[in-house]
A and B are shown apart, each in its own frame.
Chain A
Amino acid sequence: DTEVTQTPKHLVMGMTNKKSLKCEQHMGHRAMYWYKQKAKKPPELMFVYSYEKLSINESVPSRFSPECPNSSLLNLHLHALQPEDSALYLCASSQNVGGVGETQYFGPGTRLLVL
């Protein structure tokens, strides 16, 4: 099973709302990632968790707050977002970070619209 699941599939929120995106994997992977993807662009890395600890934060604004409650779950808490934050948010996981040929497995994404 190489499945990464994400909920919700779609989300519409106002600029004053607080919402959370959820990601889950049951492959025993120890690394999990959040990416942001704008239309017709490649994914941009936001955060990396390795063994439930934040290992990379690509200078993401504080209105995005990641959380890794356990090795299978990854959340992204959203607060006071801007319309330009509208995008597809992708979660991924891999066995570890940075091994040779380490494959990242992606979820289907949450399509976020900020009004």
Chain B
Amino acid sequence: GNSVTQMEGPVTLSEEAFLTINCTYTATGYPSLFWYVQYPGEGLQLLLKATKADDKGSNKGFEATYRKETTSFHLEKGSVQVSDSAVYFCALLLSGNTPLVFGKGTRLSVIA
């Protein structure tokens, strides 16, 4: 089946530290990949996405590269801020009438 595996959280970092949140996937087909972010008390917001191998999605200083050979889509940011504290979800989508498949989410806390 189709699934997404994210690193277990919570992740606690100091402000300006480097962030990596690992995401790997299993898919019967060629998925599109997404990172969504959920701030406390809010809905999900699209952070970035990629639709084919070697595509790099980027937004707000976050980046992720679609790696078909390692079936991965790791999220990175060079210097985190307190305002980046949130839960991050990796997700995949296959074409056709199939649902968005989420990972379990990784909670990030950034301390000043």
Partners in one complex: yes
Do B32 and A104 touch across chains, with their CB atoms under 8 A apart? Answer: no
- From A40, A50, A56, A102, B32 is in contact (CB under 8 Å) with A102
SS class, residues of chain B in contact with chain A: loop
Do B43 and A42 touch across chains, with their CB atoms under 8 A apart? Answer: no
Tell me the complex Cα distance, A100–B30, Å. Answer: 9
The contact string, 1 if C-beta is below 8 Å from chain B, for chain A 91-106, is 0100001111111111
The contact string, 1 if C-beta is below 8 Å from chain B, for chain A 15-59, is 000000000000000000000000011110100101000011010
By the criterion of a CB under 8 Å from any partner CB, how many residues of chain B are at the interface?
24
Tell me the complex Cα distance, A99–B49, Å. Answer: 14
CB within 8 Å of A: which residues of B?
32, 34, 36, 42-46, 49, 51, 89, 93-100, 102-105, 107
- From A41, A56, A101, A104, B97 is in contact (CB under 8 Å) with A56
Do B95 and A42 touch across chains, with their CB atoms under 8 A apart? Answer: no
Do B43 and A107 touch across chains, with their CB atoms under 8 A apart? Answer: yes
**Sample of 29 A–B contacts (CB below 8 Å):** A6-B43, A40-B107, A42-B89, A42-B104, A42-B105, A48-B99, A50-B97, A55-B97, A56-B97, A90-B43, A90-B44, A97-B97, A98-B93, A98-B95, A100-B32, A100-B51, A100-B95, A101-B32, A101-B49, A101-B93, A102-B93, A103-B46, A103-B49, A104-B46, A104-B100, A106-B43, A106-B44, A106-B45, A109-B42
Chain A neighbourhood of B100, CB < 8 A: 45, 104
Cβ distance B38 to chain A, nearest Cβ, rounded Å = 9
Do B34 and A103 touch across chains, with their CB atoms under 8 A apart? Answer: yes
Chain A neighbourhood of B95, CB < 8 A: 98-100
Chain A neighbourhood of B96, CB < 8 A: 98
Tell me the complex Cα distance, A63–B84, Å. Answer: 37
Tell me the complex Cα distance, A4–B44, Å. Answer: 11
Closest Cβ neighbor of B99 among chain A residues? A45
Do B42 and A108 touch across chains, with their CB atoms under 8 A apart? Answer: yes
Given A98-B93, A101-B51; 10 other pairs, CB 8 A cutoff: A40-B107, A43-B44, A55-B97, A97-B97, A101-B32, A101-B93, A103-B34, A105-B46, A106-B36, A106-B45
